[in-house]
Amino acid sequence: MRVGMYYSNHDVRVEEMPEPKIGAGELLVRVMASGVCGTDVVEWYRRDKVPLVLGHEIAGEIVESGEGVSQHRIGDRISASHHVPCGECHYCRMGHHSVCDTLRKTKFYPGGFSEFLRLPAINVEKGVYKIPDNVSYEEATFTEPLACVIRGQRLAGYKKDQRLLVIGSGISGLLHIQLAKSKGFGKITATDINDYRLKQALRFGADEAICAKDFKAEKVADLVILCAGAESAFEQALKAVDRGGTILVFASAEKGLKLTLPLNEFFWRNEVTIISSYAADPEEHLQALKLIKDKKVNVKDMITHRFELGDIQKGFKLVAEAGESIKVIIEPQL
């Protein structure tokens, strides 16, 4: 089978690999669509692990099931979690499923940028979701990124009428804006340095969109969601959060970035909270798929580019450049 083998953002090759063989409790999935995530192009995080097949935002069709699989059938249209929690450890019991050791070790093989993939038994048991009839494969690739957004806003403690600032209007920022709009947030402000993305922020529900270089961040938000990893973005978040507010760190930072915080100003008297969020649990994936099914979050119109597997390098180039694209989808069966 063909795969997109990642060596660097500028070197993603179409190579041949054997089709995966499945065992008891496992599934073989024909990948119909796979989204390119912003984390797929974080080179410093990937460079010591290459070559590898990336792709975790997948949707496909079950073509083979292993012994003992009864809850899923050949022909089912599914999305699936790349990582799944055990549900039983201390972290899971405390509600922090995404820091579970099992979640950090599990994955499917070889990755979503391939014609077929194998879902291990634990993923089959805990992280497979049937796609509703009115949801396309392309739309279903948003299940995982939207689930992450749902988790982030839940952990941040959403309250009706909060003033929201989203720093960074790429795919995750736009999903945050849409979800917040559906919940009835107060004023939603978005920033970015890219004019195209600022226009998209307005299109998908922001009340105002301001160039980050011109934004006067002086205690203007109750919740600040960081969807950009530059040092200037973190500094802007610290200036923008109001008393009693929360900063949600949603994006990875530049490698090695360290910040110095004036502790008294932010924490002693002003009750500012800084919280982080990573990944999502199975229940949040189900919530995301329902929001997509019910058209509460418009993911279809966020797809700007589609490529066959043979053109995967073009897709990675677009995402790495962070220019005039939102969601790039790879379709391995074309």
Which pLDDT score, from 0 to 100, does residue 307 have? Answer: 98
Residue at 63 is within a domain:
yes
Residue at 152 is within a domain:
no
Q: Which pair of structure tokens corresponds to residue 206?
A: 């922001």
268: CATH = 3.40.50.720
CA 251 to chain centre: 10
Residue numbers of the domain that contains 229:
157-276
Percent of the chain with pLDDT over 70: 100
> In total, how many domains does the chain have?
2
The whole-number average pLDDT for the span 2-8 is 98
82 and 168 together in one domain:
no
Q: Considering 276, 297, 315, which residue would you say is the last residue of a domain?
A: 276
pLDDT tens by residue, 294-318:
999 999 999 999 999 999 999 999 9
Which pLDDT score, from 0 to 100, does residue 19 have? Answer: 98
213 and 264 together in one domain:
yes
193 and 247 together in one domain:
yes
20 and 142 together in one domain:
yes
33: helix, coil or strand? strand
The whole-number average pLDDT for the span 9-17 is 97
Residue at 126 is within a domain:
yes
84 and 225 together in one domain:
no
126 and 207 together in one domain:
no
pLDDT tens by residue, 214-235:
998 888 999 999 999 999 999 9
94: CATH = 3.90.180.10
Nearest Cα neighbor of 201 from 173, 234, 161 is 173
314 and 229 together in one domain:
no
pLDDT classification of 260: cutoffs 50, 70, 90: confident
Q: Considering 276, 295, 314, which residue would you say is the last residue of a domain?
A: 276
Which pLDDT score, from 0 to 100, does residue 184 have? Answer: 87
Q: Which pair of structure tokens corresponds to residue 179?
A: 């979800």
Which pLDDT score, from 0 to 100, does residue 280 have? Answer: 96
- Round to whole Å and give the CA distance between 250 and 180: 15
pLDDT tens by residue, 78-119:
999 999 999 999 999 999 999 999 999 999 999 999 999 999
Nearest Cα neighbor of 145 from 163, 170, 120 is 170
266 has a pLDDT exceeding 80: no
143 and 8 together in one domain:
yes
Q: Residue type for 189, please?
A: T
pTM: 0.96
- Is the CB of residue 226 less than 8 Å from the CB of residue 168? yes
The mean of the pLDDT values for the chain is 95
